[in-house]
Each structure stands twice: as structure tokens, then as C-alpha cells.
Amino acid sequence: MSPAEAQSRIAELRATVARHDELYYRRARPEITDFDYDRLKEELAGLERLFPEAARAAGGETPTQRVGDDRTEGFVRVKHRQAMTTLDNTYDEAELREFHARLVKALGTEELVYTVEPKIDGVAVSLTYEQGRLVRAVTRGDGEEGDDVTANVRTIRGLPVALKGAPVPAVIEIRGEIYLREEEFRRINQLQEEAGEAPYANPRNLAAGTLKALDAAFVAGRRLEIVCYGLGHCDPEVVDAQTAFRRQLEAWGLPVVAAFWSVRGIDAVWAAIGELDRIRRDFPYGTDGAVVKLDAFAQQRHPKIGYRGMTADGRAEAARKLSPRWACAFKFAPDRAETRVRDITIQVGRTGALTPVAELEPVFLAGTTVKRATLHNADEIARKDVRVGDAVLVEKAGEIIPAVVAVLLEKRPADSAPYAFPRRCPVCHTAAVRGEGEVVWRCPNPHCPEKVRRRIEHFASKGGVDIEGLGEEMVALLLQHGLIRTIPDLYRLTVADLLPLKKSGEVWAANLIAGIEASRTADLWRVVFGLGIPQVGAAAAKDLARTFRSLDALAAATTADLLRIGGFGEKTAAAVVAWFAEPENRTLVSALQAAGVTPTAPAAASSALAGKTFVLTGTLPTLSREEATAKIEAAGGKVSGSVSKKTHYVVAGEEAGSKLEKARTLGVPILDEAGLLALLAGSS
């Protein structure tokens, strides 16, 4: 490669890696696997080493000399007391042994003790405890400062707000990883599918997106979990090695990783990695590798080791620390299997979204037989050039969701033809449409049988009016027998209508009718959510219910009315107004009302709390965060996760963090628990 070619390739790789950093760290929507990303970054680093002049000429900041940045708008930024670095990755045993050889040379001994533990595929966070009390949780950010996510992290069950036992430092930063269990990931994706929405790609992306939600009550419903493993700033120091630190984490009552080895020498490290690879699929979280660290803190801090970004003698430091030389991550190769695409089918969602799915020759992958894999959208099929008959590599993203990651072009049949994405709905054959700037094609026919089925399922789902017993199978059966055609038809069903459908007697029929009857007075927000208004999730539906208190009032709302709701932007307001402007939708609402659906409005809010936004920070004397949130919402208020000029009150408890400081800066009224209870009492 010539210097000119190297310069061009370096510029191209920098732009590509920067784009994938944005997708991964800020949006939690990566388009490529970790393996493919690491390969791009490895190629870039190699070219920068071989062609330093070309690297300088390429211009711009290189992603090989910075930590990925997860900071987003809406959060207070907090500086880490000690930089929060990332790990250098390797997929190769030889490179792992080179890592050991460099440490042997620096320390002058072969007898090095290492720790080996799982590398968790989650979201890194730093927990600060002062005098043993949790005061702050901050994301990695750019390594120097991150986003304050304390309110959201406090919702994690199993994370103590106070450390147990002794010794307890005056100040300590404890690094951990936030994750979602596989069963919780599946539960949330089931709700997504019931709502007619695309499922999340993997637990890591979902955990990252959840952690950055601005509503702590919403985060609490997602059941995030955490494990702790790393030490940042600590004053005074209480341990002198990683092994001792793990024991101390357990003594303090903090959750730790599921497996841990303390071994001597690189051969023992390699054996531990092999053992981890054999057992990792039994862990409650995704594990994509092993973290290897020098055990002794004194060796980690040796002048010839330290961090990448420091000079060889350790006396001077660059703009920021990048990665420790005393640790590395050995990444397991992703679980992939070769199979063939039998067909490409199109699923029709509640909103009419046409989602392509690869129908595969069954293949065993990561413990299960895979028969189908998502292809996301028309643009993704074109980008990868996936065709019927192609041999493909399938990978389980996050070890759960199957995805086609590569086409084996050398095995492509000679008579293959590019896949032509259908321009008509495969169910009702209506011409598909794609909005300006959108990647998704949709069926616009409101009477499309598949859209009708999905809408009914969504309305009856647990997130909607929650009609027990009315799942996918029963909705399909009712439609098949012509007993229902629309949502309001549900409320005209009788036990006699249902009896011919099953042979199990009257009990199930009576139970289903009872569930339908109970839903007539479901909470207003559930009905609003169940209607499937674009841009309106559960949190927005609660805001609408609190603000307008009836379907009629909501239907009459103007864009200006909606924009006065905290957190509502022009896109959401326009979507709500447009939905109620459609004659079909107005007819649906009228038909529900005529069928006796009378949603229960939120409790009447007094002038003290109606429409007011609260932010909770710190630990209250008697109320848990969930209890305080419930009381505020019951009185007509709203709880947010961040302080802004639109915040009406900040409720501060013991050891409140940066939210209290920001409230003081902005002049937001501050209440203690007694003040909150007094305000609530005055609203009753």
C-alpha cells in the first residue's frame, strides 16, 4: 500500500469507526457486531502505526486515541475522580501471550499472578460511595466525565444504598456493569411485539437505552441488574490487590461476577479462559470474553506499566488515559453458524410496518435451533445483498436474537437474483408506502387483516387494557370465526358466542368475558396506549391521561395544548393531533364509548400538584423512591429523572447529589420528605 492509499484508507476508517461509535455509545443501536467493529479499529491502528505521516495528513481526531463517548443530552455531567478507561481487546492466544511477555519484561519476573473473570456484555457505570452511602452513579462518558444516572441506578434491586461492615473508605469509586437477564429481555421484547413494535436487538442495547431514560419510574419497570468488579478512586485505600478487592465487594454486600480465578502464569490464565468458555452460557448475563488483570495493585502502578497514553517511564501523561497496560480482554469469537436462506418473508406489524425475515434451513447455534432471522428492512437487505438461496453466516446477537451477519458470496448459486422488496402488502395487496426520511415500508390500508389482528392484540395486551386470556391465539380464533372485526366488537361478545370455540366447558369462556368486562373501566392511560397512537408509549399515555382526563378532551386537544406537556415535542404532538383527525380513528373512539368503555381517569389533582414535575434525589427517611413516585403520580404530578428549568420541585433526601446542586443553580424549589408529604396532604 502506498502512503497516498494509506492516507485515503485511514480517513475512510476514521469516519466509519466514528459513525459506529455514535451508533453504539450514544444511540445504543449498533449496525455491526463487536467482532467486526474490533477488526475495523484494529486495521486503523495498524495503518496509523505503519504510516504515521499519512495518519497525520488524513486529519481529524482518530478514534484509536480516545474512549468511546456515551454522553447524551438531558443529563448532568460529572467528572470521574479517576479516569474510567476501556480495555484493549484480543481474539488471539498469541496476542494474549505477548501481553504477558511485555509485563514479564517490565517487572523482571515470570511469576505473575493474574485474575480472570467474565467480560460482561453490558453498560459500564461508576458508583461513588461516601462514608459508605451511595451518592452518585455515572456512566463512562468519554472516560473523563460521564452522565449522572443516579436516579435510574437507584431503581436496581440488589444494589445496596449503604455498604455493610468495615472497613469503609471515606470516598470510593466502584466500577460495575449494568445488564438485563435473558428472561427480562424476552419479556420486554414480547411486550414490544404485542404492541406491534420492532423487538430490541440484544440485551446490551436495551440496557443502555433504558439507563438513559429520563423517567426513573419507567426504568424501574425494566428490572436492570448490576455486578461490581473494578476499583477507581479510593481514599483511604483498603485493599492491595484485585483478589482482595473482590472479597471486600462481597463483604460490603455488593453483587459480583459469577466466576473468578486467581492464577499464576500465562498457561494457567489460558486454562481459566477455556473453563470460562465452557460455563459462560449458564450465567444470567451475556458474556463475550474474559478480563485478565495483574492481581497486585503495586504491579499495576509500576512506572513501566500504568496506562496507554502515558510515557514509558510514567512521569508524564497525555491528555487522557486510554487503556491499562496491566489488563486486557480476551474476546470469544462470536457464535456463528452457516446455513442457507430458504425464503424471505414479510411480517406486517400493527402500524403496517413491513419487516423482512429470513427463513433458514434449521441450524443449531448457541444451544438452540435457529430457523428464522430478522433482516430489519429493505435497505439492510440491499446493503448486505441477501438473496433467496444464499449461504449465510448467522450469529446470535447478544447470544439471543438470530441475525444474518454475512453472505458467503463464493457459495452463491449461479442463477440467484437480487431480492426485490415487495411494493405491496403481502396480506391485503395494498401498495406499500415509505415516508420521507424513513427506512420502513408500510401498508397504509387501515382494514388490512393483519394490521387489524395486531391492533386488537395490542389493545388487549398487558401494556394495554390487559384482558386476561385474550392473547394471539384467541384473537386469531375470534377473527377466524367472524366473531369480531374491530376492537369494539370485543365488548359485544357473550359466553354463548365463545362456547363453540373450545371443548373445555364454560369456565374459560366465563373467565374471558369477565376479563373483557373488567377492561371497560381500565385506567385511561391504558386505553390511550392501547389505541396505538404513533409516538405514544406508556409514559406519554400517562401524561396525556393526567392532562386531559377523558378521551373526548384528548380528541379535542390542539398542538399547542400538547406542547404544554413537559417532554412533548412537535413530532409527538403532531402525531396525536393527526391520529384523532382521521375519521376512522374518531369512529373507533365513538364505537368504544358506545360499547360501554368508560376509562377510569387519574385521581383528581389539586392545584398544588396538577401538572407539576418533580425530581427525586438522595435517600428519603421513610419513603422509597417507588413509594414517593406513586404518591406524586396519584396526586396528579409527574416524576422526571433530570432537573431543568421546567422542573417545579426537587425532593432531596440524605446525600443528595448533583441534581440538588443543579436545582439550586436554576432556582428550583427544594423540598425534603416532610415538605413533600405536606404538599401531598394539602392536595387531598
Helical (H) or strand (E) element with 12: helix 3-21
Residue 412, φ and ψ in degrees, nearest 5: -70, 135
* Beta strand residue intervals within 569-676, DSSP E: 613-617, 638-640, 649-652, 670-671
- 502 assigned to active site: no
Our CA angle for 212, 214, 219, nearest 5°, is: 70
- Active-site residue, selected from the candidate residues 41, 105, 119, 612: 119
DSSP string computed for 356-376? EEEEEEEEEETTEEEEEEE--
Interatomic CA distance for residues 111 and 431, integer angstroms: 70
Cα–Cα distances (Å) from 445 to 95, 431, 448, in that order, read 57, 9, 5
Closest by CA position to 162, among listed 619, 616, 615 = 619
Q: Which three cell numbers stand for residue 279?
A: 460455563
Residues 6 or more apart from 83 whose CB is under 8 A from it?
143, 144, 307, 320, 321
Distance (Å, rounded) from C-alpha 526 to C-alpha 523?
5
How far from each other are the two terminal CA atoms of the chain, in whole angstroms?
A: 76
Do residues 631 and 620 touch, judged by C-beta distance below 8 A? no
The answer to whether the CB of 576 falls within 8 A of the CB of 533 is yes
State how far the Cα of 548 lies from the Cα of 524, in Å rounded to an integer: 10
Cβ contact 196:458 at 8 Å: yes
Whole-angstrom distance, CA of residue 438 vs CA of residue 444: 14
Taking a C-beta distance cutoff of 8 angstroms, is the pair 326, 305 a contact?
A: yes
Cell of 256: 459480583
Which three cell numbers mark 277? 468458555
Helices (H), 130-235: 150-153, 182-194, 203-211, 216-220
* Active site members: 119
